[in-house]
Structure 1
Amino acid sequence: MNLEAAIVTISILCLAAAIYLAMLSTQIIDMQFRTRLVNWAVLCLIGGTAILACWLISQTIKRAIEKEESNKNSIF
């Protein structure tokens, strides 16, 4: 498994955990435990989104660098 696939997999797992925790929190009666589950769901959602956003930004930078290098090579 390459690094990109691992990053996307971790991001998807974080998003899936956020959905699961949010659904589970609707079935809990104890208010403090429900609040903790919702907090964890929000953190998983933010974490998964941040991981995916960082990966997309790195891919954009990588493609821009490759494009610039190919333009330099075509001049010479």
Structure 2
Amino acid sequence: MAYFLRLGDDDLEDAEKHTTKADAIDAFRTVADELDRFGQSITASLHIADTWDEVVEYPDFVLERGPRGGVKVERA
């Protein structure tokens, strides 16, 4: 099982492959923290699939910064 992280409005083909859900969330947190320093925000989608060929447009999870700076992970 792999986790494909799609940041912002990037194309689905640009999604980053991660081996665990925690790794994908950490990658999102790193980008969100950097953008937060400049007063910007970002959302991301997380797609679960065995291979790239099985990734579908509709995400399994949506990630965004929470009100206290954490990462909110909501099932789509």
TM normalised by structure 1 equals 0.31
Larger proportion of helix: 1
Larger proportion of strand: 2
Higher RCO structure (Cα 8 Å, ≥6 apart): 1
